[in-house]
């Protein structure tokens, strides 16, 4: 592995990334000086090739838009509304196309900025040097942070304070475990207890940046640290204004008079043939831009904590480097929030900005997005820093370790949380004690929905049809499950069991999202059902709702056989607070291992048969075939023996805890039963779950 490999990976990704995307328009509506353009679901092309699964996200912010008319026009993307397939356009030179028209979108070339960072030999060497510390973090000198300021923190959240004692550390935050809150109080204490420390806080989306900054501000406000609150800055213009009501001090403001001068100067561009005037104009504009940049640098230097998106940090890497007076790191700590979605190449490129680095996220949820299939691209752009964190057995109660797992969650009702924990976190995630003991928390999760009682939190809803590809919708669809979900939602809303905003319908595919929306809009109570949020799972990470309906559509789809699909199922299931309803056909569970695990776990959950130790059965003459269908214990695993290999050498057990099929060596089981093998069949250790 080398810097050359990273450069090659970026070039591979650039080659695989289309320069532009074409979308077919559903509607264009003027709103003041802006235009709201709604796109037809699934009607997209990338580089001229059909791309029905192409999804809008924050990467389209700041994109350029062009259309052929008539009349021809262009605009800039001011904002993106992914859940509604909408672009908000500014500075349009002509009205955008109406129904069935085409627009072409040129996203910002983020990869080019990343390539430039790695093309700088000196900076690339610094970035590469930080890689070794991912697996073997250095311990830093200095006093540890006090951990008792916020008395309401859970034990694992307190242990996370020790992470800043390492040059590189990892905060692993499973769903509902309070990762953002933990970051907020941790950074509040760092700023308070280390008065000289400067922090760069990065996250993957504008919303995630807002949430992290506001969590910090709340933690500071709780302890009345007003002087510190005044020295936190959120950079960028694409923030939620409502989120900052009463918190305007967090926003980085520039000199409006200087901005007005620049706008006036840019508007006075002379004609191209007047070279002398053009040169003078360029000098004036460049001078004003330098003044603005100096003002920004001054504000950056005065702040104790600066927050922005990882993309912005990559684009402005040169400016951030100039914050240092001695060519050293300009920040004491760089925090990567949602780090599991940041590619390893990007994380390393930004890592030298800090003397230490903290990666916060969940590698069992969505991974970095990549297009290229080459090996280098998979290694450097398809993995995050979590893929190289310490592999040693890290005890969960070690307050000095560089990895902290937040092992308590307060989002999901216990049965949902236990299923998610068993499938994706080796059973280490549990309901927080403070939540379990709170009557109000329990009451919010003990709710009925369309015939499903308050004590039932998980349900598999059988579907008598498999999904399949639809040429009309340009993707996998299943009309039967879409109709069933619309009817269930309608009945629940009519009965007053839920408000529209309390129900979320999730699916992996844009085509099925469109079909579900159509079913909800066609319902006789469409004035209510149409308000229910229908989303692809990719857009749901970070959200939650009391009731989640999940439709995987077709478990045979190649995408759903990948490791990324396993993470996607985790995201879908872990959005639910009170009820999770999964719509499955038999073919879904048979074709997809994760969906099959869910079915097996729920099937075995109420098994009241006596458990037989495998040692008591292994001496029988009919062993191992005599055990098929029996409930047994093998080491720490309890479950039903599912099958025996044709040659009789392997026994497969459906584990009750996770639904997973586990394979055991029959010869070993016989020797163990005969006393010929020392030690336990299976030793459980308190270690972090494996990153896949």
- Domain co-membership, 90 together with 149: no
Q: What is the pLDDT of residues 620-639, one digit of tens each?
A: 899 999 999 999 999 999 99
Asked if the bond preceding 166 is cis, omega within 30° of 0, the reply is no
pLDDT tier, 241 (very low <50, low <70, confident <90, very high otherwise): low
Classify the C-alpha dihedral 204-208-210-212 as positive or negative. negative
Q: Give the span between the Cα atoms of 129 and 133, in whole angstroms.
A: 8
Q: What is the pLDDT of residues 354-371, one digit of tens each?
A: 999 999 999 999 999 898
- Domain co-membership, 86 together with 220: no
Asked if the structure places residue 250 within a domain, the reply is no
Q: Say if residue 255's pLDDT is above 60.
A: no
What pLDDT does residue 678 have?
A: 57
What pLDDT does residue 692 have?
A: 56
Q: Give the span between the Cα atoms of 14 and 11, in whole angstroms.
A: 5
What pLDDT does residue 536 have?
A: 92
Asked if the structure places residue 325 within a domain, the reply is yes
Q: Say if residue 393's pLDDT is above 50.
A: no
pTM of the model: 0.88
What pLDDT does residue 127 have?
A: 98
Q: Give the span between the Cα atoms of 320 and 322, in whole angstroms.
A: 5
Q: What is the pLDDT of residues 590-627, one digit of tens each?
A: 999 999 999 999 999 889 999 999 999 998 899 999 99
Q: Mention every residue, 6+ apart, whose C-beta is less than 8 A from residue 41.
A: 85, 473, 510, 511, 513, 514
What pLDDT does residue 679 have?
A: 55
| Phi–psi pair at 344, nearest 5 degrees | -60, -40
The whole-chain average pLDDT of the chain stands at 90
Asked if the structure places residue 293 within a domain, the reply is no
What pLDDT does residue 686 have?
A: 44
Residue with tokens 């960028």: 236
- Domain co-membership, 74 together with 116: no
- Domain co-membership, 100 together with 118: no
Q: Give the span between the Cα atoms of 380 and 666, in whole angstroms.
A: 41
- Domain co-membership, 216 together with 361: yes
Looking at the chain, the whole-number percentage of residues with pLDDT higher than 70 is 92
Q: Say if residue 392's pLDDT is above 60.
A: no
Q: What is the pLDDT of residues 562-588, one digit of tens each?
A: 888 999 999 999 999 999 999 999 999
- Domain co-membership, 479 together with 575: yes
Q: What is the pLDDT of residues 3-47, one digit of tens each?
A: 999 999 999 999 999 999 999 999 999 988 889 999 998 889 998
Q: Say if residue 262's pLDDT is above 80.
A: no
Q: In Å, how far from its chain's centre is CA 165?
A: 26
- Domain co-membership, 436 together with 500: yes
Residue with tokens 């694409």: 238
Q: Say if residue 403's pLDDT is above 90.
A: yes
Backbone angle region of 442, left / alpha / beta, with phi > 0 → left and psi within -120 to 50 → alpha: alpha
- Domain co-membership, 53 together with 138: no
CATH of the domain at 77: 2.40.10
Q: How many domains does the chain have?
A: 4
- Domain co-membership, 491 together with 587: yes
Q: What is the pLDDT of residues 468-484, one digit of tens each?
A: 998 888 889 999 999 99
Q: Say if residue 246's pLDDT is above 90.
A: no
Q: Mention every residue, 6+ apart, whose C-beta is less than 8 A from residue 147.
A: 153, 158, 161
DSSP labels, 553-604 = --TTSGGGGSHHHHHHHHHHHTTEEEEEEEEE-HHHHHH-HHHHHHHHHHHH
pLDDT tier, 216 (very low <50, low <70, confident <90, very high otherwise): very high
What pLDDT does residue 680 have?
A: 54
Contact 210, 176 (CB under 8 A): no
- Domain co-membership, 595 together with 620: no
- Domain co-membership, 503 together with 473: yes
Q: What is the pLDDT of residues 144-155, one digit of tens each?
A: 898 888 999 999
- Domain co-membership, 342 together with 217: yes
What pLDDT does residue 244 have?
A: 79
Q: In this predicted model, which residue has the larger pLDDT, 330 or 288?
A: 330
Q: How many CB atoms lie within 10 A of CB 178?
A: 23
Q: What is the pLDDT of residues 87-143, one digit of tens each?
A: 999 889 999 999 999 999 999 888 999 999 999 999 999 999 999 999 999 999 888
Q: Of 547, 173, 676, whose CA–CA distance to 386 is shortest?
A: 173
Q: Say if residue 264's pLDDT is above 80.
A: no
Its domain, for residue 41, covers 18-106
Q: Say if residue 193's pLDDT is above 60.
A: yes
């Amino acid at each position: 592995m080398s810097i050359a490999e990273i450069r090659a990976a970026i070039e591979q990704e650039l080659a695989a990334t289309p320069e532009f995307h074409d979308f077919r328009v559903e509607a264009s509506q003027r709103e003041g000086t802006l235009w709201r353009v709604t796109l037809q679901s699934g009607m997209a092309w990338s580089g001229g090739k059909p791309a029905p699964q192409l999804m809008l996200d924050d990467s389209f912010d700041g994109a350029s838009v062009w259309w052929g008319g008539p009349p021809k026009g262009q605009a800039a993307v001011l904002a993106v509304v992914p859940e509604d397939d909408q672009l908000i356009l500014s500075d349009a030179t002509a009205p955008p196309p109406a129904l069935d028209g085409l627009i072409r979108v040129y996203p910002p070339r983020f990869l080019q900025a990343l390539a430039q960072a790695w093309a700088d030999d000196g900076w690339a060497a610094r970035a590469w040097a930080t890689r070794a510390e991912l697996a073997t973090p250095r311990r830093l000198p200095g006093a540890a942070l006090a951990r008792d300021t916020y008395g309401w923190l859970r034990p694992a959240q307190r242990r996370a304070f020790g992470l800043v004692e390492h040059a590189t550390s990892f905060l692993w935050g499973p769903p509902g475990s309070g990762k953002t809150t933990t970051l907020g109080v941790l950074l509040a204490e760092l700023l308070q207890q280390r008065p000289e420390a400067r922090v760069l806080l990065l996250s993957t989306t504008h919303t995630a940046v807002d949430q992290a900054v506001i969590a910090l501000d709340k933690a500071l406000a709780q302890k009345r640290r007003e002087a510190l609150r005044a020295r936190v800055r959120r950079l960028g213009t694409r923030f939620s204004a409502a989120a900052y009501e009463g918190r305007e001090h967090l926003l980085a403001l520039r000199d409006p008079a200087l901005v007005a001068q620049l706008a006036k100067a840019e508007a006075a561009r002379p004609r191209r043939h007047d070279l002398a005037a053009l040169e003078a104009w360029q000098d004036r504009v460049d001078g004003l831009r330098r003044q603005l940049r100096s003002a920004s640098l001054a504000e950056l230097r005065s702040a104790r904590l600066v927050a922005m998106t990882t993309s912005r940090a990559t684009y402005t890497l040169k400016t951030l480097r100039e914050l240092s007076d001695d060519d050293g790191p300009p920040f004491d700590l760089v925090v990567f929030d949602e780090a599991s979605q940041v590619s390893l190449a990007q994380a390393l490129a930004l890592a030298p900005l800090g003397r230490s680095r903290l990666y916060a996220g969940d590698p069992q949820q969505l991974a970095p997005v990549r297009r290229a299939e080459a090996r280098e691209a998979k290694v450097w752009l398809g993995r995050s820093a979590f893929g190289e964190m310490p592999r040693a057995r890290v005890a969960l109660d070690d307050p000095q370790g560089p990895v902290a797992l937040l092992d308590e969650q307060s989002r999901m009702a216990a049965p949902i949380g236990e299923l998610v924990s068993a499938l994706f976190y080796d059973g280490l995630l549990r309901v927080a004690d403070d939540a379990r003991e709170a009557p109000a928390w329990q009451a919010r999760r003990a709710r009925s929905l369309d015939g499903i009682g308050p004590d039932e939190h998980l349900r598999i809803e059988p579907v008598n049809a498999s999904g399949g590809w639809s040429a009309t919708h340009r993707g996998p669809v299943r009309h039967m499950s879409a109709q069933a979900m619309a009817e269930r939602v309608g009945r629940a809303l009519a009965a007053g069991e839920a408000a529209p905003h309390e129900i979320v319908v999730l699916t992996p595919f844009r085509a099925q999202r469109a079909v579900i929306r159509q079913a909800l809009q066609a319902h006789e109570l469409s004035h209510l059902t149409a308000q229910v949020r229908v989303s692809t799972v990719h857009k749901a990470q970070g959200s939650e709702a009391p009731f989640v309906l999940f439709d995987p559509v077709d478990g045979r789809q190649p995408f759903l056989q990948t490791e990324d699909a396993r993470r996607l199922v985790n995201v879908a299931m872990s959005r639910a607070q009170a009820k999770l309803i999964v719509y499955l056909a038999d073919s879904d569970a048979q074709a997809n291992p994760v969906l099959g695990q869910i079915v097996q776990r729920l099937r075995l959950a109420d098994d009241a048969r006596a458990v037989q130790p495998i040692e008591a059965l292994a001496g029988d003459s009919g062993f191992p075939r005599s055990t098929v269908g029996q409930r047994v214990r093998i080491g720490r695993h309890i479950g039903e023996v599912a099958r025996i290999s044709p040659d009789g050498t392997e026994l497969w057990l459906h584990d009750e805890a996770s639904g997973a099929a586990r394979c055991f060596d029959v010869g070993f089981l016989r020797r163990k039963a005969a006393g010929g093998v020392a030690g336990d069949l299976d030793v459980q250790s308190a270690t972090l779950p494996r990153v896949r």
